[in-house]
Amino acid sequence: MIMRDVAIVGVGMSKFGERWSSGLKDLMAEAGIAALEDANISSHEIEMLYGSTMASGRFVGQEHTAALMADQLGFHNIPAVRLENACASGGSALRQGYIAVASGIHDIVVVGGVEKMTDVTSGEASTALGGAGDQEWELFQGITFPGLYALMAKRHMYEYGTTEEQMASVSVKNHDNASKNQYAQFRRAITIDDVMRSKMVSDPLKLLDCSPISDGAAVAVLVPLEKAKKYNDTPIKIVASAQASDTLRLAERDSLTEIKATKIAAQNAYKQAKLEAKDIDVVEVHDCFSIAEILAMEDLGFYKKGKAAKAIADGETTLNSKLSVNTSGGLKGCGHPVGATGIKQAAEIVWQLRGDAKERQVKNAEVGMTHNVGGSGATAVVHIYKRAD
């Protein structure tokens, strides 16, 4: 089957954070209208919608969110499908949108992610998020997601000498980037000492090692590359889309110091794009916890196993350094409304490759990547992007 090249011609985001006065519909509209305006496309032109939420029923009592999103954005009578893949829901929706356009089934597809997480208590939110792991063997036994990633962190520290200060440097870098992002939940810088003094959540992970509970939405508009310049003078081509999975529960993994789904998805993405890790200029990785970014940098092939923590602490992944990582602020600084995160990552890369990222702009960025993880690593979605010729 001959597949068409696919481009993103419009992106939009809501402000991420504790949006007390905004409901699920408001967040959808804020991001969706911005994306349609960015793409110079009217709502009646949209042919298909993939909407992603992880736990909208638990958070706000609303299921059937794809139809709600289509209704809210004026996409009357089109097919609309909800994607749920834990924290990788957004990346999975983007991949399905890519497949729909590449296959020729649809020409203009919207992918949108949203989550409204702050209307419940932190305990209720933790229970909802815990469903991304094995409910029977993990959540029911009392372990939380900070606990699962703490196990990975402890093992990485044991095998490779990774330190708590090195993990803290991930949060420091991402908060610095978030301070330059108008959409970010936390627009303030922090220090290593701030992280080290913050409340212990699950040893060795402290409060400032953890991404927050967030409200927010993000939307992207996809079209065939051959038609892209009809809508936008600077379309961004998706040159690879890959996804892989692993065991749902951490206890059955081959290793606690790698996420195999990330490695497989990355290898497939590099093969599709005919590129290597060294060709990437800017990447958004899934830093739900500081150790997660360290694992991602190794599993995506940017560093050998055990080398990423020191490299990050040495400043090799700060803005306009060796490799610019999480310029949006990542999940830690920008926020993590779980259904929206994967599409927010794509929006950030689109802005970077267009040269529209303002204070956080990566110089001469030509190739970007996004990496979105579900649960403790049972799902990983990797996309690679280039500026269209």
Residues with Cβ within 8 Å of 47's Cβ and at least 6 positions away in sequence, in order, are 78, 106, 107, 108, 109
Q: What are phi and psi of 340, to 5 degrees?
A: -100, -20
**Cβ-contact 136, 55 below 8 angstroms:** no
Catalytic residue (choose from 106, 286, 336, 383): 336
What is the rounded distance in angstroms from the CA atom of residue 12 to the CA atom of residue 15? 10
What is the rounded distance in angstroms from the CA atom of residue 151 to the CA atom of residue 102? 40
Active site residue 334: no
What is the rounded distance in angstroms from the CA atom of residue 134 to the CA atom of residue 138? 5
Q: At what angle do helices 341-354 and 89-102 cross, to 10 degrees?
A: 60
Specify the pairing of strand 80-83 against strand 48-52.
Answer: parallel
Residues with Cβ within 8 Å of 225's Cβ and at least 6 positions away in sequence, in order, are 4, 5, 6, 7, 235, 237, 388
- Find, among 178, 179, 208, 212, the residue nearest to 196 by Cα: 208
Residue 354 identity: R
- Find, among 276, 370, 342, 346, the residue nearest to 87 by Cα: 342
Q: In 306-382, which residue ranges form alpha helices assigned H by DSSP?
A: 308-313, 330-334, 341-354
Name the token pair of 183. Answer: 């959409």
Catalytic residue (choose from 87, 210, 288, 334): 87
Residue 2 identity: I
Paired with 205 in beta bridges are 202
Using DSSP, state whether 272 is helix, strand or coil: helix
Residue 297 identity: M
Active site residue 156: no
Active site residues: 87, 336
